[in-house]
Amino acid sequence: MLKKAQQYKAIVIGTSAGGLFVLFDLLKQLPADYPIPIIIVQHRAKDQRDLLEEILQSRCRICIRQAEEKENISAGNVYIAPPDYHLLIENDYTLSLSDDAHVRYSRPSIDVLFESAAFAYGPALIGIILTGANSDGAAGLATIKKEGGVTIAQDPKEAAFPMMPEAAIKKGVDYIWTIEKISTFLLEQADTK
Amino acid sequence: MNFDNKEFKELLESIRYVYGYDFTDYAEASVKRRVNQFMTNRKITEFEKLGKILLQDEKIFEEFVQEVSVTVTEMFRDPTFYKSLRENVLKRLATYPFIKVWIAGCATGEEIYSIAILLHEEGLLNRSVIYATDINQKSLQIARDAVYPLEYMKNYTANYQKAGGTRAFSEYYKAKYNSVMFDRSLKQNIVFSPHNLAVDNSFNEFQLVICRNVLIYFNQQLQNKVISLFYESLCPFGFLGLGSKESLLFCDKKKNFEEIDRKEKIFMKSK
């Protein structure tokens, strides 16, 4: 059974190779006043100007922004981890950056975001792992589950790179869904509010 | 996580009381992560036990401080910052007969030698003194030794070139086995010293203060305090360089600084 929508205070999403297109699919349908803030780690190269936020924004109504140090997390926003920094969530629902060592060769690392989010939000959190070609995020998603949050992995059969959702599924997730089903679920959270 | 918020805060308070190290105003999520890692590495499963060990055994506490405060960096990280420093700041520093630079939170030294190379190439190193400080003694020792893995040099060379460097980067170090040692001449005017930004005061007056990716580990209150400390430590029209994601946005002293390069987070003390 899914929990009542009001219980969710945040959604965290992690993805790597192939992520841009599925992020489009998930985010473009959300209304500008979507009631739950979304925080995303998409693995990205440092240095090069990749325009990730601008590209996503060009097709979305909800506000897409690069996460800033000590920023308050609020509804109607999608926060994306900047290149070359880990993104963490504090207990007072603000964002922190860190340049701690790479985790699983990644900075930003999905595990780092997911673990800090799990401790800040507990059961009021939805964690989603999408396509990717490594196993970052699996441990973090397991922590979200342990703290009582809802965990979802993209169906590896439709994922461009199935390794990341597969690694998460191996540790145990609540739902294995297609992007279409995840989309519907996200929209339902807005309806029931 | 092996502990809840309340016991975590209590431990930080006890540490402050017993050892004078103040982590209470650090951004919590990162510190918790590191404490958790420390526990995992030492196979300490109960938080209560961690507290007992740390408060009773000074030696383990020292290791704890090293691990909780360790930071990683690279030479010429964010090359455009160094490019801007070269173009916008060093030219103006050249007008001083004697230049004092403070690198606060110098970690394992990669930033120090990057700055030293810039000063050298602008012909300023001979009349400069670089004060390099960090809370972490182990990191400071690595900074003093100036020995780094050979495999990093490819990346550092690329960074150096992107930062506007035109010489052969290998001029600056000697390779031996799998390590390189940076040239002695770069080290001639560096003073290494432990300094804790959370509790220690200003100790000199500088033309340039560099503190990159340190403030992100502090909460707003401590950030504000440390920026004030930098303000007091700068001469009139002295320069401050921060990390690319850091800002003066929430600081009382914001109005006392002028932006020299908005994107690279380089400021000048204007009043």
In the stretch 135-164 of chain B, residues with CB closer than 8 A to chain A read none
B227 and B148 assigned to the same domain: yes
B60 and B122 assigned to the same domain: no
B22 and B115 assigned to the same domain: no
Strands (E), chain A: 10-15, 38-42, 63-66, 77-80, 86-89, 95-98, 125-129, 150-154, 175-177
When pLDDT is cut at 50, 70 and 90, the band that residue A1 belongs to is very low
Angle at B227 between CA B225 and CA B230, to 5 degrees: 115
* A74 within some domain: yes
Strands (E), chain B: 99-104, 128-134, 147-149, 173-176, 179-182, 190-194, 206-211, 234-242, 257-261, 266-269
B83 and B161 assigned to the same domain: yes
CA atoms of A136 and B165, how far apart (whole Å): 36
Contact between A96 and B30 using a beta-carbon 8 Å cutoff: yes
B49 and B156 assigned to the same domain: no
Q: What's the structural domain count of chain A?
A: 1
Question: Looking at residue B210, which CATH number applies to its domain?
Answer: 3.40.50.150
Q: Is residue A5's pLDDT more than 80?
A: no
Q: Is residue B255's pLDDT more than 90?
A: yes
Average confidence score pLDDT of chain B: 94
Q: What's the structural domain count of chain B?
A: 2
Mean pLDDT of B98-109: 96
Contact between B32 and A89 using a beta-carbon 8 Å cutoff: no
pLDDT-wise least confident of A73-77, A189-193, B38-42, B261-265: A189-193
In the stretch 84-103 of chain B, residues with CB closer than 8 A to chain A read none
Specify which residues A10 forms β-bridges with. Answer: A125
Mean pLDDT of B144-158: 96
When pLDDT is cut at 50, 70 and 90, the band that residue A6 belongs to is low
B55 and B101 assigned to the same domain: no
B119 and B49 assigned to the same domain: no
Cβ-contact A155, A44 below 8 angstroms: no
* B73 within some domain: no
Mean pLDDT of B111-116: 98
B110 and B194 assigned to the same domain: yes
HSE value, Cβ hemisphere, 13 Å, CA-based, for A44:
22
* A140 within some domain: yes
Q: Is residue B69's pLDDT more than 90?
A: no
CA atoms of B172 and B146, how far apart (whole Å): 11
* A91 within some domain: yes
* A1 within some domain: no
- In this prediction, residue A45 carries a pLDDT of 82
Q: Tell me the two tokens of residue B175.
A: 């390779």
Contact between A99 and B220 using a beta-carbon 8 Å cutoff: no
B49 and B90 assigned to the same domain: no
* B34 within some domain: yes
- In this prediction, residue A7 carries a pLDDT of 81
Average confidence score pLDDT of chain A: 93
* B74 within some domain: no
Residues in chain B with CB shorter than 8 Å from the CB of A115 are 1, 33
Contact with chain B for residue A132, Cβ under 8 A: no
When pLDDT is cut at 50, 70 and 90, the band that residue A193 belongs to is very low
B45 and B93 assigned to the same domain: no
Residues in chain B with CB shorter than 8 Å from the CB of A45 are none
Helix axes B153-162, B110-121, angle to 10 degrees: 40
Q: Is residue A192's pLDDT more than 60?
A: no
Contact between A97 and B245 using a beta-carbon 8 Å cutoff: yes
Domain boundary (B49, B68, B87) is at: B68
Q: Which residues of A are catalytic?
A: 16, 43, 136
* B49 within some domain: yes
B108 and B52 assigned to the same domain: no
Q: Is residue B26's pLDDT more than 70?
A: yes
Q: Domain range spanning residue A62?
A: 6-191
Complex ipTM value? 0.89
- In this prediction, residue B59 carries a pLDDT of 93
CA atoms of B165 and A4, how far apart (whole Å): 58
Per the listing, tokens 């995020």 go with: A137
Contact with chain B for residue A178, Cβ under 8 A: no
Residues in chain A with CB shorter than 8 Å from the CB of B243 are 99
Which has the closest alpha carbon to B11: B39, A132, A9?
Answer: B39
Q: How far is B246 from chain A (nearest CA, A)?
A: 7
CA atoms of B7 and A80, how far apart (whole Å): 31
Query: Residue A17 is which amino acid?
Result: A
Contact between A90 and B216 using a beta-carbon 8 Å cutoff: no
Cβ-contact A37, A77 below 8 angstroms: yes
Contact with chain A for residue B31, Cβ under 8 A: no
B17 and B113 assigned to the same domain: no
Q: How far is A91 from chain B (nearest CA, A)?
A: 8
Give the 3-state secondary structure of residue A41.
strand
* A149 within some domain: yes
Q: Domain range spanning residue B262?
A: 79-269
Contact with chain A for residue B176, Cβ under 8 A: no
* B64 within some domain: yes
In sequence order, which residues have a C-beta less than 8 Å from that of residue A133 and are 6 or more positions away?
Answer: A16, A17, A18, A161, A163, A164
Cβ-count burial of A119 within 10 angstroms (0-12 exposed, 13-18 middle, 19+ buried)? buried
Q: DSSP letters along B44-94, please?
A: ---HHHHHHHHHH-HHHHHHHHHHHS-----TTSSHHHHHHIIIIIIHHHT
A96 → closest Cβ in B29, B34, B243: B29
Question: Looking at residue A72, which CATH number applies to its domain?
Answer: 3.40.50.180
